[in-house]
């Protein structure tokens, strides 16, 4: 299972309530001259209900569906939880005006460091604006976004990465209950005044999933659950039997293929984050298009690594339309493509009520009765 992080395919009916009316990540990116996805088209991407780009494939080699999010939210954590079978009826807390003073005071007391910023900010802009002061004082840069996140940025020469992780653990312990944000994120950076850059040592400290997921069920039944990228962090390590973290999409694809070549029975669960982190949030349409084109060019390698009983699922967790004024996630439908010998080629599953149908389908394929939400697809 590969999650193309933020590759939405059109605004959901309630998108306006989230400030996302008219958002369509895939359509926006398809307008770039760098966009080319012939292999995904062959699987059936352009045949999905509501997809308004490209020419439909006459004889798709895969099955396909449009997935409607049932949870209240549009962030990574809630999207992945729903893919794994958990529907979130309440959105995770967000802080458009920064975190309450009492929370910040408690965090300062426990870390013995003062806090800078404490408001929504771009991750690259915040180190540009506060990086020099942070290096002079040692104060931690704390900021948030439209998502349910508590982010801590620190220069690796001022706060070693492992110490930054300790501070994130402290924040994670504080941020529970009504202030239980989806993720506490370590955002280390390097460089000098006016030339700060974030490093690949980002680490997410997630809220524990509030119920049983497909990962819990698979692992509990003795199957392997192998995480590639930030999946292990999104699920706070629960239900994961093996994992590798990655520095970007290329390594994520490489590690996925490496796992596919091993002899095991279970699930490889991959998140490819560059679309969201590097391009969606930075409103970089051409960069997003190049990244999707690169994935498409490597799809034959993924298909070639499949065994006769394997099923490949490609989906997304939300949108992040890089063509809108917003740099935040967007409330969109997501694609689902399925491929493999057990899958009926060309089957159109229409629009599904819930990403959770993915979890139910996975569990059903392994002969397990879902203990989470969702209805299995009849492959």
User: What pLDDT score does 247 carry?
Assistant: 86
- Domain membership of residue 377 (yes or no) is no
Per-residue pLDDT reduced to its tens digit, 324-355 = 999 889 999 999 999 999 999 999 999 999 99
| One domain for residues 106 and 238 | no
Whether residue 22 is predicted with pLDDT greater than 80 in this model: the reply is yes
| One domain for residues 219 and 328 | yes
Q: What CATH number corresponds to the domain at position 285?
A: 3.40.720.10
| One domain for residues 314 and 231 | yes
| One domain for residues 107 and 177 | yes
User: What pLDDT score does 252 carry?
Assistant: 96
Quickly tell me which residue has 């039997």 as its tokens.
Answer: 241
CA dihedral 289, 294, 297, 302 (to 10 degrees): -120
| One domain for residues 181 and 230 | no
Q: What CATH number corresponds to the domain at position 114?
A: 3.30.70.1250
| One domain for residues 218 and 345 | yes
| One domain for residues 254 and 157 | no
- Domain membership of residue 225 (yes or no) is yes
| One domain for residues 220 and 352 | yes
Average pLDDT over residues 144-161: 94
| One domain for residues 181 and 278 | no
| One domain for residues 193 and 113 | yes
Neighbours of 72 (CB within 10 A): 15
Please report which confidence band the pLDDT of residue 204 belongs to, taking 50, 70 and 90 as the band edges. Answer: confident
Whether residue 150 is predicted with pLDDT greater than 80 in this model: the reply is yes
Domain coverage including residue 262 = 2-91+209-365
Question: Which of 206, 227, 243 lies at the terminal end of a domain, its last residue?
Answer: 206
Question: Which of 206, 232, 253 lies at the terminal end of a domain, its last residue?
Answer: 206
- Domain membership of residue 379 (yes or no) is no
Average pLDDT over residues 366-370: 95
- Domain membership of residue 346 (yes or no) is yes
- Domain membership of residue 375 (yes or no) is no
pTM of the model: 0.88
Per-residue pLDDT reduced to its tens digit, 88-116 = 998 889 999 999 999 999 999 999 999 99
Average pLDDT, the chain: 95
SS (H, E, C) 166-217: HHHHHHHHHCCHHHCCCEEEEEEEEEECCEEEECCCCEEEECCCCCCCHHHH
- In the chain the first and final C-alpha atoms are separated, in Å, by 15
Enter the tokens of residue 9.
């395919």
- Domain membership of residue 96 (yes or no) is no
pLDDT over 90 for what percent of the chain?
88
- Domain membership of residue 378 (yes or no) is no
Report yes or no: 188 and 202 within 8 Å, Cβ to Cβ: yes
What are the phi and psi torsion angles at 273 (to 5°)?
A: -95, -15
- Domain membership of residue 215 (yes or no) is yes
User: What pLDDT score does 145 carry?
Assistant: 87
| One domain for residues 127 and 60 | no
SS (H, E, C) 266-316: EEEEEEECHHHHHHHCCCCHHHHHHHHHHHHHHHHHHHHCCCCCCCEEEEC
| One domain for residues 187 and 227 | no
Quickly tell me which residue has 């306006």 as its tokens.
Answer: 16
Question: Which of 206, 223, 239 lies at the terminal end of a domain, its last residue?
Answer: 206
Quickly tell me which residue has 């339309």 as its tokens.
Answer: 321
Overall domain count for the chain:
2
Q: Alpha-carbon distance 15 to 332, whole Å?
A: 7
């Amino acid at each position: 299972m590969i999650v193309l992080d933020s590759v939405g395919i059109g605004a959901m009916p309630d998108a306006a309530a989230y400030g996302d009316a008219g958002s369509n990540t895939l359509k926006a990116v398809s307008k770039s001259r760098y966009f080319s996805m012939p292999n995904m088209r062959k699987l059936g991407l352009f045949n999905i209900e509501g997809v308004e780009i490209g020419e439909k494939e006459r004889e798709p080699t895969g099955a396909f569906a449009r997935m409607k999010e049932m949870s209240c939210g549009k962030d990574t954590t809630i999207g992945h939880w729903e893919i794994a079978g958990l529907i979130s009826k309440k959105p995770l807390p967000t802080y458009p005006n920064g975190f309450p003073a009492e929370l910040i005071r408690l965090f300062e007391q426990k870390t013995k460091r003062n806090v800078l910023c404490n408001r929504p900010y771009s991750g690259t802009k915040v180190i540009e604006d506060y990086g020099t002061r942070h290096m002079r004082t040692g104060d931690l840069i704390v900021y948030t976004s439209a998502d349910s996140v508590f982010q801590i940025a620190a220069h690796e020469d001022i706060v070693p990465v492992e110490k930054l992780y300790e501070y994130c653990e402290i924040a994670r312990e504080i941020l529970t209950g009504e202030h239980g944000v989806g993720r506490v994120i370590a955002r280390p950076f390097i460089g000098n005044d006016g030339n700060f850059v974030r490093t690949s040592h980002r680490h997410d400290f997630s809220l524990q999933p509030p119920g049983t997921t497909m990962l819990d069920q698979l692992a509990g039944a003795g199957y392997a659950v192998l995480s590639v990228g930030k999946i292990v962090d999104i699920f706070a390590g629960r239900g994961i039997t093996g994992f590798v973290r990655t520095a970007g999409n290329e390594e994520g694809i490489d590690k996925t293929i490496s796992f596919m070549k091993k002899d095991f029975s279970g699930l490889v669960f991959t998140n490819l984050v560059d679309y969201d982190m590097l391009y969606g949030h930075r409103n970089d349409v051409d960069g997003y298009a190049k990244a999707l084109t690169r994935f498409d060019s490597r799809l034959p390698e993924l298909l070639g690594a499949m065994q006769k009983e394997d099923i490949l699922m490609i989906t997304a967790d939300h949108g992040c339309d890089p063509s809108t004024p917003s740099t935040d996630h967007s409330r969109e439908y997501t694609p689902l493509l399925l491929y493999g010998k057990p899958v009926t080629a060309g089957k159109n599953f229409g629009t599904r009520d819930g990403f959770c149908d993915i979890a139910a389908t996975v569990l059903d394929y392994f002969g397990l009765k879902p203990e989470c939400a969702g209805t299995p697809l009849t492959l």
